Amino acid sequence: MAAEFAPLSARRLLVLGGIGLILAGMIFGDIFAVFVLHQNAARVGESLAAATQAALAGDSAGVLANFGSVGGFLENRGTKVDTHAHMIGFGYLALMLAVVQPWIALGERSRKRLAALFLFGAVLLPVGVFLIHYVGLVYSPLESIGWASIFADLGGFFVLVAAAVFLWGLWRHFSDAARPAVRDALLAEHNAASRLLLTGGVLLILAGFVHGAWYAAADLYRHETTDYNLLSQMAAGAAARDAAAVNKALGEYGQLQGEKGVNIAAHAHVIEFGLLAILLAFFQPYVDLRDVWRRRWAGVLLLGSLLLPVCVLLELRYGLLAGGFADSGGLLVIVALFAMWIGIVRYTGELDAAPGGAAGKTGGAR
């Protein structure tokens, strides 16, 4: 197990980099949720209301100006959601690539370089996406795509190339019948924390899929139709100078956006946390903490993973109180993940300090 986790090996780079990306993405997401999301939604609502009032007053220029503001706020929100989602998504992918390293038929040096390229792209893309809103089209050689977008796409390209070459290495392994069987001690080792994370993770994902299917069947098309109908009512009310109809439609439109938002957020988060729990189950042997603490941190992670989506769904009924609990759930996940990351860093230190380095140590973590 230790030999595959040698200093600056592809697996070590991908494990530590992957968890680091997930942590950074989650911290960014929590900051975004607390300081940006609700304020931004309020500004979008205010601008939409102002645009409708301008239409009511027959002020075409006012309509266009306010919709310009809505576009800006939505781009601001969209790029931050993308930053959060891609950082975490690439972190998950890094952990998966770390698991399959022993089956990738490439030299260690090539795998190390590919891991570095992957992590570089995985950082470049979200940073580029984050900057899109602020850089805009300044000095851009293209009509509608700015430099931040170009670098974000370049980051995505690096990730794509690295993932494709890893896939090719995997194909080389399995297509060569003469290649000796690989035995990976990491996957052979089971402990209570791994079992807890694995079972809890699959149940979280199942819950997320069932919720998603229920939402798609019961609410998705109704929400889409209502969205269009309410906008039509606003426009028709404004054309007819009917302020009461416009205000009524505006109020319902805000409520609809909230309903859509919490359902999508709950669905996405419960599945992502389930996937994270399963991925972390594989690396528990590397978490150099006592068994009881590994179980506790696994429990904290699962508790936070359930608390966040459930409280997000309750936001419609209980407002900011439920929102506060949801943010606490996110914080529990972050703390548990950080504790596991520290445990893995402790393991690397122990390996590197052992006589002969990583290769000289054959045992697992405590």
Partner 1 sequence: MSGARRLLILGGLALVIWGMGYGLWYAVFAEHQALDGIGASLATGFAGAAKHDGAAAQAALTRYREVKYVYDRQVDIHSHWIGLAMLLIVLGIAYERVALGERLRYLLALGLVLGAVIFPLGVLLQTLSHGAGPRAVTVLGAGLVIGALGGMALGFARGPRFYRGGRTAS
Are the beta carbons of 179 and 104 closer than 8 angstroms?
no
Answer yes or no whether residue 224 interacts with partner 1 by CB under 8 A.
yes
Cβ within 8 Å of residue 344, ≥6 positions away: 15, 16, 19, 283, 286, 287, 288
Residues 98-127 that bind partner 1 (CB under 8 A): 99-100
Q: Which stretch binds partner 1 (CB under 8 A): 21-29, 146-154, 285-293, 300-308?
A: 146-154
> Smaller CB distance to partner 1: residue 282 or 341?
282
* Minimal distance, residue 74 CB to partner 1, in Å: 8
Residue of 174, 176, 321, 362 interacting with partner 1 (CB under 8 A): 174
* Minimal distance, residue 170 CB to partner 1, in Å: 6
Count of residues interacting with partner 1 (CB under 8 A): 83
* Minimal distance, residue 325 CB to partner 1, in Å: 25
Residue of 24, 127, 187, 303 interacting with partner 1 (CB under 8 A): 187
Are the beta carbons of 251 and 185 closer than 8 angstroms?
no
Are the beta carbons of 46 and 350 closer than 8 angstroms?
no
**DSSP 8-class letter at 180:** P
Q: Which stretch binds partner 1 (CB under 8 A): 17-25, 32-40, 168-176, 316-324?
A: 168-176
Sign of torsion, CA 44 50 53 55? negative
Are the beta carbons of 309 and 348 closer than 8 angstroms?
no
Answer yes or no whether residue 60 interacts with partner 1 by CB under 8 A.
yes
In angstroms, the CA 355 to CA 359 distance is 9
**DSSP 8-class letter at 143:** S
Cα dist. 159→120, 154, 155, 333 in Å?
Answer: 8, 9, 6, 26
Cα dist. 60→56, 65, 66, 253 in Å?
Answer: 10, 9, 10, 21
Residues 72-91 that bind partner 1 (CB under 8 A): 74-75, 78, 85, 89
Amino acid at 333: V
Answer yes or no whether residue 198 interacts with partner 1 by CB under 8 A.
yes
Residues 283, 288, 294, CA angle at the centre, nearest 5°? 70
Answer yes or no whether residue 211 interacts with partner 1 by CB under 8 A.
no
Residue of 33, 193, 271, 308 interacting with partner 1 (CB under 8 A): 271
* Minimal distance, residue 157 CB to partner 1, in Å: 7
Cα dist. 250→44, 47, 116, 235, 311 in Å?
Answer: 12, 11, 49, 11, 26
Amino acid at 187: L
Residue of 39, 232, 255, 362 interacting with partner 1 (CB under 8 A): 232
Residue of 202, 303, 316, 345 interacting with partner 1 (CB under 8 A): 202
Answer yes or no whether residue 31 interacts with partner 1 by CB under 8 A.
no
Residue of 15, 16, 44, 51 interacting with partner 1 (CB under 8 A): 51
Q: Which stretch binds partner 1 (CB under 8 A): 200-208, 250-258, 299-307, 332-340?
A: 200-208
* Minimal distance, residue 319 CB to partner 1, in Å: 26
